[in-house]
Amino acid sequence: MSNTSTKIMVALAGQPNSGKSTIFNMLTGARQHVANYPGVTVEKKSGSFRLKDDRVELVDLPGTHSLTSYTLEERIARDFLLNDKPAAVVDVVDASNLERNLYLTFQLAEMDISLVINLNMMDVAEKRGIKINTQKLSQELGAPVVPTVGNKGKGKEQLKEAILSTSKKGQVTPFRINYGDDLEPILDSLEKRLSEETEISGRYPVRWLAVKLMENDKEAQRLVGKYSQKSGVILRSAEEKREAFKLEHKKSPQKVIAITRHQEAQRIVEASVTRSREITRTLTDRIDQVACSRYFGPVILVATIYLIYELAIVQGYKITEYTWPVLAWSRDLIASLLPSEGFIFDPFFRSMPIWVVDGTIAVLNYVPIFLILFALIAILEDTGYMARMAFILDRIFRYFGLHGQSVLPMVIGGLYVGGCAIPGVLACRGMKDEKARLATIMIVPLMNCLAKIPFYVLLIGMFFAAYKGIAMFFIATITIIIALSVAKILSLTVLRKKESAPFVMEMPPYHIPTTGGVLRRCLERTWLFVKKIITIVILVSVIVYVLIYFPGISKERKAHYISQSGQAQQTFLKKIGKDSPYASLMAGDNLMEFTRYWRDYKKAKMGAKGKKAKQALDQEFREKNFEFFKIVKRGKYKVKGEMIKDKHAKKVYNAYKKLGKTTNKLRREIKEETIITSYMGRAGLFIEPLTRWAGFNWRVNIALMSSFAAKESSVATLGGIYQSPPGEKHRLEERMKEKEKGWTALHVLAIMLFMAMYPPCIPTLLMIRLETGSTKWMLFATFYPIVLGTIIAVLVFTGGNLLGLSGMQAMIAFYILALIFLVLMGLIKREPEFT
């Protein structure tokens, strides 16, 4: 390895759909790193590769059509080029779309950048009968031109070669567009003025600044204002010149500049490209005749959405049945490393870590779903169908301040039944319209995620058992109705001032995605999720643990439980008798040891399926402790092949079974008391007078509050609160009905609707924080659903009671009300006006 090795920074620029990411992958291989551009949520991908003695750091800029200051992506790309000053920029150009792509090339050249022109997708161009004279093109642009086929790795070495020589050569005479006799003199004089200001001319290319000032570019004006002594004079003179130009030529300078660039592109293409036939998109056009048609379009769209739902959510969930044992195994492994459990009280350093691990694996459990989802999204993006989805649906979504692109995040979040808000929020990434993007992020958590489903099923089973299908349909669709109304309200209020963007969307030709590209993106996104989310989930679940289990039960109550447990142990010992051969085996600390052995055995036995597994299990426990083994086998065991019936062991077994029952009962009582007296429990009791209006008592309050960590836990917490008395095996919904005799269907409807509007779980909130780049939005996303859910629950419960409605009547009445509200919201017109 050479000592003179240096690091060369190179940027990758290009228009969307130019195959930029395949070039990035081709050059960097697996050495990639994903982060965000500072202060914004746009992904910054960088990677590195070796070039002879040097290491090249390649930064992937956002794909943009132009380099104005109007969109975030364009600003980011521009700022990077201006401030980080890469040694060379590879401009990835779609060879089959040269003319339009050159429009960006010119703007890059204007920034005094050492360019390498990469003519990508040469195979597509060839297929379309486009022949490019690369030498001529290189001559025209004053930059090396390297043809490649990115997805086949063709031209890789030549491109690296060109990057090396260009970055070593330093500044080349940049290609300049002649903007014509009307504009050039003005640009010249502006350039001269700017050159005199050393602070600004040392930082930025003056020609570029002059052009931008004539384009009335706000960012360029800001830069001049910041670094120039005479900024007032310069800006004023630019403004005057712009106005004078407009008056004289009846056209704004920016229009002339854009037109000149396009004309120049046309000229260069005419000089260097020969077409053997007319451009055709026959296959794409034929597909679109069906895929975007009036009747088949929506049908195909719904079918696609259904397929995504079926493959990712339904099938993905089935896969979790296979991955869950692995997670459960790792949980047990961790548990085995922790201090061992006590008779009725477990040490803090056991129960707390287990709680955290449980919370973490509950999220990790969804990884198979994410993998499938992200792969499907990548396919949708790469094929070009995503643009068609937006095209077909924009009309509907626009009524509610959303965008055609909002549909995918909503589907992933659980548009019908079952989804996950975390990848849903992540899927908002590609949306260019900031206002619609934020509105979508805010409503995705209102969709029905997978974790809400068991809760609905439980409650529907309680009071709507006769109308299961209708009730499920109600909850699945009411959330969409409410979410759309909420989106509209948000875009009219809190999002009013957010930057919106024109729809203007390219409909790229259909394209078969590469397996590698899809896999890479899907793994990348899943990894990003796991990395970012898990660390924080661990932190937050510690806090929630404290809220649910602290301050803990009082010393007196603790003593009470210990004495009860002691009594039960005494009874047990008495029952087996002093003379039993097992008496000493069960005395003192040995009893605790046996208890662990018993619990382990019972648990292992539940997991063991099939005769062979059971035999192996018995063998294992027999070797572990033969005496204990005799007892757990009820005194029936083999010695040297002979079956033995051990009366004493059977007696111990029966006595211990009773002790075990009492102990479990005590453990449950302790848990219930701990939760009720915890900070969260006290809060649940405290707000009961308020939540009564919504039909919630403190038990429900606690269950709802504890769901905050992860909604999966709501059913578990309810299970804890409404425990079954020992010996009885009622299902949870029956136990709840038993304990809540006063409940009506209205209670349940109110709880269900509150759950539908429930604030996002913590991982989702973190994702929102990540994607909006703002804690404020995260907090907003936490609190508005609580307010909304409370209003709806009170409306349904108190309103329903006042009107004397039954559960079904209230459900239908609320549905109609929500629909009317939705239509009214849709009628409020507020189309973005762009001038």
Phi-psi region of 37 (alpha: psi -120 to 50; beta: other; left: phi over 0): beta
Q: Is there a contact between 635 and 653 (Cβ–Cβ < 8 Å)?
A: yes
Least CB distance from residue 394 to another protein, whole Å?
6
Report the C-alpha gap between 78 and 205 in whole angstroms: 12
Cβ atoms of 726 and 665 closer than 8 Å: yes
Cα 25 to Cα 123: distance, rounded to the nearest angstrom: 18
**Inter-helix orientation angle 282-291/385-398, to 10°:** 40
State the nearest-atom distance from the C-beta of 256 to another protein, in Å: 10
Element (H, E) at 118: strand 115-120
Give the DSSP letter string of 662-676: HHHHHHHHHHHHHHH
Residue closer to another protein by CB (options 297, 789) is: 297
Of 502 and 725, nearer to another protein (C-beta) is 502
We find the least distance from the C-beta atom of residue 15 to another protein, in angstroms, to be 10
Q: What residues make contact with another protein under the rule CB under 8 A?
A: 65-66, 68, 70, 97, 99-100, 103, 215, 252, 254-255, 258-259, 262-263, 279, 281, 285, 288, 292-295, 297-298, 387, 391-392, 394-396, 398, 501-509, 831, 833-835
* CB 593, CB 584: distance < 8 Å: no
The β-bridge relationship of strands 54-60 and 43-51 is antiparallel
| Nearer residue to another protein within complex by CB, 126 or 673 | 126
How far apart CA 194 and CA 224 sit, in angstroms, is 9
Among the listed residues 138, 136, 139, 86, the one whose alpha carbon sits nearest the alpha carbon of residue 112: 86
Which lies closer to another protein via its Cβ, residue 139 or residue 284? Answer: 284
Nearer CB in complex with another protein: 147/297: 297
Could you give the count of Cα atoms lying within 13 Å of 615 in the half-sphere of its Cβ? 4
Least distance from another protein to the Cβ atom of residue 801, Å: 41
Least separation in angstroms between CB 21 and another protein: 19
In the complex, what is the shortest distance from the CB of residue 283 to another protein, in angstroms, rounded to a whole number? 13
| Nearest residue (CB) to another protein, 263 versus 615 | 263
Q: Which is nearer to another protein, 269 or 540 (CB)?
A: 269
Minimum separation from the CB atom of position 131 to another protein (A): 15
Nearer to another protein, 303 or 616 (CB): 303
CB of 804 to another protein, least distance (A): 42
Nearer to another protein, 508 or 789 (CB): 508
Residue 524 is encoded by which pair of tokens? 């990348």
Among 541, 562, 544, smallest CA distance to 553 is for: 562
Nearer to another protein, 498 or 671 (CB): 498
Cβ-based nearer residue to another protein, 388 or 651? 388
CA distances from 90 to 182, 681, 696 (A): 32, 60, 62
Residue 123 C-beta: closest distance to another protein, Å: 17
CB of 500 to another protein, least distance (A): 9
Q: Collapse the DSSP code of 402 into the 3-class scheme (helix H, G, I; strand E, B; otherwise coil) and give the result.
A: coil
Edge-to-edge strands, sheet with 115-120: 32-36, 43-51, 54-60, 7-14, 88-94, 115-120, 145-147
Nearest to 260 by CA among 95, 103, 450: 103
* Min separation Cβ 505 and another protein, Å: 5
- The answer for residues whose C-beta is within 8 angstroms of residue 736's C-beta and 6 or more apart is 458, 462, 718, 722, 743
**Residue 147 in tokens:** 């043809």
My answer on whether omega of the bond before 144 falls inside 30° of 0, hence cis, is no
**Residue closer to another protein, measured from CB, 128 or 735:** 128
Q: How many residues does the chain have?
A: 835
State the Cα–Cα distance between residues 418 and 411, nearest whole angstrom: 9
Cα–Cα distance, 187 to 506 (Å, whole number) = 32
Min separation Cβ 70 and another protein, Å: 5
